[in-house]
Amino acid sequence: MEKKHIDWANLGFGYIPTEKRFVANYKNGAWEDGQLTSDATVTITECAGVLQYAQTCFEGMKAYTTQDGRIVTFRPDLNAARMEASCKRLEMPVFPQERFVDAVVRTVEANEAYVPPYGSGATLYIRPYMFGSDAVIGVKPANEYQFRVFVTPVGPYFKGGVKPLTIRVCDFDRAAPHGTGHIKAGLNYAMSLYAIMDAHRQGFDENMYLDAATRTYVEETGGANFLFITKDNKVVTPKSDSILPSITRRSLLTVARDYLGLPVEERPVAFSEVADFAECGLCGTAAVISPVGKIVDHGKEICLPSGMNEMGPVTKKLYDTLTGIQMGRIEAPEGWLRVIR
Ligand code: PLP
Ligand code: COI
């Protein structure tokens, strides 16, 4: 199989249509088998639930080419489980978890020519998603849904790759207590768009959201969880019911504890503690671990000791170990890699 002629090393985080995508429709209370199609367009009624009341959720995961030439995905069972949680919270039918993983595998297989080669710096981003597809005008769930999976080769999420980011404490809230912050609903991202564009206009790379109720605890960014390293090398990550349970963050805690022998703490993190940390990173499928060098709170700068030139040493070890596992250089814990080919 010949790879596509793509300048892998210079890819950004963008959409490049590939050959095949998976589509399954839900109608009369049941999912059809679904199939791969070449048609990258979606045709739905003007009154579809997704268009009127934003009834949609999604997942994000990646496929990697390992050092020994296999194609693998990372913990797709956890994405399947999280999508189930999202669907339930949004009154959408669950696409069964085994079938979710199977659809991901089939879509990656069908687009093998687009899976970036080992060592290229790029990966294949996988986007499973679901939306209400039939007409609703009263505020209620749709009766019909479409589940789809497409893939697209991507480079780093943040321009500049692993250069430390400057973020700001955001005056907008991301998620309400008892709201939808813990699921991957499209609506969480729609309402973050003004905040992220405003951050960019002010010269910041990302927003640090605080808890909406008290604005004293660190939550997450628009697309990643936080990881902090204390001056005595402890790994600390915020615990909150209104952040997305990041699969990358959960995996990094295991990596820290079991591979690097570092103590880990998942607990509420007060914003007032942040100035005492040695390192800070944003973690997620797209972000991997992107180091933060500076956090600006209404003009007051918190400069992390790790600086603005490179990742802090503990963040780097976490990054190298996680990506080593994903690329097959380091042995993965049982069940973490799903071999596609
Ligand atoms: N938080 C938000 C809001 C996200 O959109 C993402 C991306 O998926 C994450 C965290 C990271 O989650 P994961 O590591 O499962 O990709
Ligand atoms: C991911 O990391 O997969 C996400 O969905 C985050 C998004 C900001 C691209």
315-319, Cβ contacts within 8 angstroms, sequence gap of 24 or more: 315/227, 315/229, 315/279, 315/281, 315/289, 315/291, 317/260, 318/227, 318/235, 318/252, 318/255, 318/256, 318/260, 318/281, 318/289, 319/162, 319/281, 319/288, 319/289
pLDDT of 216 > 80? The answer is yes
3-state secondary structure of 250: helix
Query: What is the reported pLDDT for 154?
Result: 98
Residues 155-183, mean pLDDT to the nearest whole number: 94
DSSP letters of 192-220? THHHHHHHHHTT-SEEEPBPTTTS-BB-B
3-state secondary structure of 223: coil
For residues 190-207, b (16+ Cβ closer than 10 Å) or e, as one string?
ebbeebbeebeeeebbbb
For residue range 99-121, list pLDDT tens digits in order: 999 999 999 999 999 999 999 99
Distances (CA, A) of 204 to 171, 195, 308: 14, 11, 14
Query: What is the reported pLDDT for 311?
Result: 95
Residue ranges of the alpha helices (H) in 90-135? 97-110
pTM of the model: 0.98
For residue range 252-309, list pLDDT tens digits in order: 999 999 999 999 999 999 999 999 999 999 999 999 999 999 999 999 999 999 999 9
Length of the chain: 341
Question: Which residues fall within 8 angstroms of residue 222, CB to CB, at 6 or more apart?
Answer: 174, 189, 192, 195, 196, 206, 207, 209
322 within ligand 1 shell (Cβ under 6 A): no
Determine which helix (DSSP H) or strand (DSSP E) holds 125, and give its type and residue range.
Answer: strand 123-132
Q: How far apart are the C-alpha atoms of 192 and 173, rounded to whole Å?
A: 8
Q: Give the nearest ligand 2 atom to 60 CA.
A: 3
Token duo for residue 271? 């914003």
For residue range 13-49, list pLDDT tens digits in order: 999 999 999 999 999 999 999 999 999 999 999 999 9
Give catalytic status of residue 184 as yes or no. Answer: yes
Q: How far is the CA of 138 from the centre of ligand 2 (A)?
A: 31
Given 20, 184, 294, 317, the catalytic residue = 184
Identify which of 167, 221, 246, 325 to mutate to test ligand 1's pocket (most ligand atoms within 8 A of the CB): 246
Q: How far is the CA of 46 from the centre of ligand 1 (A)?
A: 30
Token duo for residue 232? 């005595």
Of the pLDDT bands very low, low, confident and very high (cuts 50, 70, 90), residue 160 is confident
Residues 224-239, mean pLDDT to the nearest whole number: 98
Query: What is the reported pLDDT for 161?
Result: 74
325 within ligand 1 shell (Cβ under 6 A): no
Share of the chain above pLDDT 90, in %: 99
Across the chain, mean pLDDT equals 97
pLDDT of 212 > 80? The answer is yes
Contact 133, 146 (CB under 8 A): yes
